[in-house]
Amino acid sequence: MNPVTVITGAGRGIGAATARRLATAGHDLVLGYRSDHAAAATVLADVHATGRRAVAIAADTGDPDQVQRLFTAADDLGPLTGLVNNAGVTSPIGPFTDLTVTDLRRVVDVNLIGYVLCAQQAVRRMRDGAAIVNVSSAAATLGSPGEYIHYAAAKAATDTLTVGLAKEFAPHGIRVNAVAPGIIRTDIHAVSGVPDRPDTAAGRIPLGRAGEPDEVAAAIAWLLSPEASYTTGAVLRTAGGL
Ligand code: NAP
């Protein structure tokens, strides 16, 4: 039987790269996204072109009913073996004192509550050999001063969620790990108001450049795979040395 994996935020960026890579590795996929139907349809077509089964589902991960729908779609593909908890948002980059309550709540809703809701749906379905990868951020340990401290704090919560879930579900044979990307070339930077951040930040990244989505997808695919059978509770930094 093929692995069946749910990827949230699969319409673009790291999630889309992960979808393409996992399809090539033989996974059937549920591609979650929020509202960009055209972007999700493009990724879906690429997955179908590999011969894998897949569906794209618009579901806001901050909403428990919509999350439920995402996982019901997975049930139609077979027993769930994987979750990539990836859908995340920042808010406009700026000083801490300018942060609005609306932006704060949205960041916590998607990056923390969304991850918890998806993990809960996943582990209820998963059996021995299944795995979860949470997409955290290097921000979790850097703190993101002057940029988005609240986002960094939510990502630190992702790391804690990873460790706790890994320990609670290890006796069931379910592995839970995280990746912590640094600055990766995706549209998230435009959404936070600094579209050229991957280029302007290059000078302070030890490897001298921003990362590409597929370089994170490679780490995610490895953590999901049986090759990582003794790895659980790990946060794998994919940040060019940041
Ligand atoms: P991105 O290019 O902005 O893509 C975000 C994806 O998530 C889109 O498919 C979007 O759907 C979806 N999404 C956003 N909010 C959602 C919600 N409430 N419910 C369901 N789907 C939602 O992001 P990315 O840069 O690939 O980031 C992916 C993950 O990596 C995030 O968790 C982010 O925090 C983390 N990360 C990114 C970087 C980086 O530099 N890029 C660095 C560290 C960590 P629509 O397109 O339909 O809106």
Q: Tell me if 203 sits within 8 A of 242, measured CB to CB.
A: no
Tell me how far the alpha carbon of residue 171 lies from the centroid of ligand 1, in angstroms. 31
Whether residue 1 has pLDDT greater than 90:
no
Q: Which tens digit of pLDDT belongs to each residue from 175-232?
A: 999 999 999 999 999 989 999 999 999 999 999 999 999 999 999 999 999 999 999 9
Which pLDDT does position 16 carry in this prediction?
A: 99
Tell me how far the alpha carbon of residue 170 lies from the centroid of ligand 1, in angstroms. 28
Ligand 1, atom 19: closest residue by C-alpha: 60
Catalytic option among 115, 148, 151, 230:
151
Least Cα distance to 52 among 20, 26, 15, 19 occurs for 26
Whether residue 70 has pLDDT greater than 90:
yes
pLDDT classification of 237: cutoffs 50, 70, 90: very high
Which 3 state secondary structure label does DSSP give 229? coil
**Burial class of 76 by CB neighbour count within 10 A (0 to 12, 13 to 18, 19+):** exposed
Number of domains in the chain: 1
Task: Taking residues 34-58, report their average pLDDT.
Answer: 98
Which pLDDT does position 95 carry in this prediction?
A: 96
User: CATH code at 40?
Assistant: 3.40.50.720
Q: Cα–Cα distance between 179 and 95 in angstroms, integer?
A: 27
Q: Tell me if 29 sits within 8 A of 86, measured CB to CB.
A: no
Which pLDDT does position 90 carry in this prediction?
A: 96
- Average predicted confidence (pLDDT) for the chain: 98
Q: Look up the domain containing 164 and give its range.
A: 4-238
Strands (E) located in the chain: 4-7, 28-33, 54-58, 82-85, 131-135, 175-181, 235-238
Q: Which tens digit of pLDDT belongs to each residue from 85-141?
A: 999 999 999 999 999 999 999 999 999 999 999 999 999 999 999 999 999 999 999
Which protein residues are within 6 Å of ligand 1, measured from CB? Answer: 8-9, 11-15, 32-36, 39, 60-62, 86-89, 110, 114, 135, 137, 181, 183-184, 186-188, 191
Residue type, 242: L
Q: At what angle do helices 114-125 and 64-75 cross, to 10 degrees?
A: 30
Which pLDDT does position 110 carry in this prediction?
A: 98
Q: Is 230 a catalytic residue?
A: no
Which pLDDT does position 113 carry in this prediction?
A: 98
Tell me how far the alpha carbon of residue 75 lies from the centroid of ligand 1, in angstroms. 24
Q: Is the pTM of this model over 0.85?
A: yes
Least Cα distance to 25 among 227, 160, 185 occurs for 227
* Angstrom distances, CA of residue 238 to CA of 118, 199, 207, 227, 234: 23, 17, 11, 18, 12
Determine the length of the chain.
242
Ligand 1, atom 10: closest residue by C-alpha: 9
Greatest CA separation found in the chain? Answer: 52
**Atom number in ligand 1 closest to CA 61:** 19
Rounded to 10 degrees, what is the CA torsion of 91, 163, 132, 12?
Answer: 20
